[in-house]
Amino acid sequence: MPTNNPLLGDSALPRFDAILPEHVEPAIRATLAEQRVRVAGIAALPEPTFATVVLPLEQMRHRLARIWSPVGHLNGVLNSEALRAAYNSCLPLLSEYSTDLAQSEPLFKAYLAIREREWASLDNEQRAVLERALRDFRLAGVALDPARKARFKEVMIELARLQAKFEENVLDATNAFSHRVTEASELAGVNQGLIERAARRASEQGLSGWIFGLDQPTYVAIVTDAHHAPLRRIFYEAWTTRASDRGPSAGMFDNGTLIEQIVQLRHEAARLLDFNSFAEYALADRMAHTVPEVTDFLRQLAAAARSHASAELAELETFAGRKLDAWDLTYYSERLQHSRFQISQEELREFLPLPRVLAGLFEVAEKLYGVTISERDGVPLWHPDVRYYEVRSGRGEPLASFYLDAYARSHKRSGAWMDDCVGRKQLQGALTLPVAYLVCNSLPPQDGRPALLTHDDVVTLFHEFGHGLHHMLTRIAYPSIAGINGVAWDAVELPSQFMENYAWLPQVLERISAEVRSGQPLPASKQQQLIATRSYQAGLATLRQVEFALFDMRLHAEYDPARGARAYELLAEVRGEVSVVPVPEWNRFPHNFTHIFAGGYAAGYYSYKWAEVLAADAFAAFGARNAFDRATAGRFLDSILARGGSRDLLDAFVEFRGRKPDIAPLLQMHGIDTARTAA
């Protein structure tokens, strides 16, 4: 195998300074060829054992993940035509390989034999590895007849291609949009840093005025703060019609056909495995086990929140003095919030420079879990804005590390996420420590000042760092169940949403804030005003998430090949049931709903609310007085963060909390009447 390919070396971290698109496909092809030979040898062993079958397959899984991880990551944060082509060329290869592995009858029988012969001598982690693998074999169709097995593999390969194309279309539609403003009066209320950046962009193109793109910070800032309603509408329409048949790039990157194809193929895959729907298939390895369990949960939340949401919308329209259009809601919500609490997101930017926020965030982790976090230079990076940090125990032992890519830029996917760069592995005496990617899309630094965050940005950063801690503080030895691997999808948001709570505590706000001129923290009065906004319009926010989740679940549970996906018909029904806000006919939200059509949340978007219940209940375990109680934090670390997918998450939660989850702490946190919920 060639050694000059940076993806194939033995460096501890990816060589981001050397990886080129032309390295990608050769590295993947060479690795898969080598692993296929090794798998064939393992499958032919006459007397399989945990040491001769499971351990080498875990090693190979880890090796392939380390090679592919930087490729997938770069495709999201530094997208180019060449890299995209290389990435897409490998998707069918990887899908075919993973399906072949999961459908291997010899391997399946080997795992069964190992369970039968060695179960008594295996520890809990090893048993979890076996049980998860056996479940995955079954869910991949290992027991299918040859024709159905082959068709299942074809479907998986095609789905990988279509889902990648869906995300590409959203990114391309986002990058294709720009809007030029020539009248300064139209920019009243907009963040000055954004205005200056737009002026530079216009100047670079030899034009007067200002040119704005559609990156997430720009979109959010304009619909939140621009006084000029026509400008808000332009950006709202551009954002909500991305990759569709409507809006400024109508038909150019249209995901309509892809939605139909993706849902149809998912349904076909589920039926091949004798599930009634893809939703049932997806729930086979979740905390929630049935579609009614999920929809009843969502409708319970909707019932609790609906009257609150209706009252919040009525109050907003009374404040505005008129009926509101969709592009008015965020703007007047921010104005009403400022009127009531005398605080705004833009005002908070001056108090939330990223370096200070990071220092406070790391201090939270230190207080809770006894870790220390420090920046390290000299590591290959994919962009000058990226930073690299090391995580150590209180005794100075290295535990993990992570990259932080904090700022929005062209050719970078919108949103925020955590992903694994390297998973933890401790096999046959060799330890590999976990490495994470933390990605956000905040406004970059300007004019010699650090990046200034809104409090919403801060909550997002705390959220992703919570995911990162789940990945980095695992103590599990086996890659397939270490960190977030093997964790039930509807519980994977628990650590992230748990961490969000700390972004609202007075003692944390004191530590993460420093006014950019004076260095003074956010005044106590402002802290209290900010904290009071946490439950502001909680009813509307809850219904919005329920709408997305119920649409997703019904789309995948009710699919009928004779009728097609019926995406907008179903969405209209869901909105009629749970929504109270106006949505224009031309809104094309599903066309850019990457969570379910390109990410891992298909028939799983409910996980955000499901895990929010778990997170609020877990945080309530600390009580009202000491959110940094080390004993309680230690139990959360031992029961949840450190355990990865080595045990059922419900059992782990009960171990930590002493009982099953309760919805009441979440409703109480947001001031929603629990009596109405019970009724």
What distance lies between CA 144 and its chain's CA centroid? 33
Q: How far apart are CA 230 and CA 246, in angstroms?
A: 18
600-614 pLDDT per residue, tens: 999 999 999 999 999
464-483 pLDDT per residue, tens: 999 999 999 999 999 999 99
Instruction: Say if residue 458's pLDDT is above 70.
Output: yes
Written as six digits, the tokens of 478 are 């086996």
Q: How far apart are CA 197 and CA 446, in angstroms?
A: 8
What residues pair up with 435 in beta bridges, in sequence order? Answer: 401, 422
DSSP secondary structure string, 559-570? -BTTTB--HHHH
Q: How far apart are CA 279 and CA 290, in angstroms?
A: 8
323-373 pLDDT per residue, tens: 999 999 999 999 999 999 999 999 999 999 999 999 999 999 999 999 999
**Model pLDDT, residue 671:** 84
Query: Which residue do the tokens 């080390």 mark?
Result: 630
49-77 pLDDT per residue, tens: 999 999 999 999 999 999 999 999 999 99
Written as six digits, the tokens of 627 are 């959110």
CA distances for 173 relative to 154, 164, 237, 249, 254, angstroms: 29, 14, 12, 7, 9
Instruction: Say if residue 537's pLDDT is above 80.
Output: yes
**Model pLDDT, residue 303:** 94
Find the catalytic residue in 464, 493, 500, 612: 464
3-state secondary structure of 399: strand
At residue 673 the predicted structure's pLDDT band, cuts being 50, 70 and 90, is: low
Instruction: Say if residue 676's pLDDT is above 50.
Output: no
Smallest CA-to-CA distance from 42 within 109, 93, 92 is with: 109
Q: How far apart are CA 461 and CA 451, in angstroms?
A: 13
**Model pLDDT, residue 447:** 85
> Mean pLDDT across the stretch 86-94?
97
What distance lies between CA 667 and its chain's CA centroid? 23
All residues at 6 or more sequence positions from 214 whose CB lies less than 8 Å from its CB, including other chains: 174, 175, 177, 178, 235, 238, 239, 242
**Model pLDDT, residue 3:** 58
8 A C-beta contact, residue 612 and residue 542: no
Least confident of 70-79, 122-131, 334-343, 624-633: 624-633
**Model pLDDT, residue 678:** 33
Give the relative orientation of helices 124-139 and 105-118 as an angle to the nearest 10 degrees: 150
Beta strand 179-181 pairing with 210-212:
antiparallel
At residue 2 the predicted structure's pLDDT band, cuts being 50, 70 and 90, is: very low
Instruction: Say if residue 382's pLDDT is above 90.
Output: yes
Domains of the chain and any CATH numbers = 21-172 (1.20.1050), 177-240 (no CATH), 264-323+537-678 (1.10.1370.10), 349-535 (1.10.1370.40)
**Model pLDDT, residue 193:** 92
Q: What percent of the chain has pLDDT over 70?
A: 98
**Is 125 annotated in the active site?**
no
Q: What percent of the chain has pLDDT over 90?
A: 96
Query: Which residue do the tokens 């995901």 mark?
Result: 255
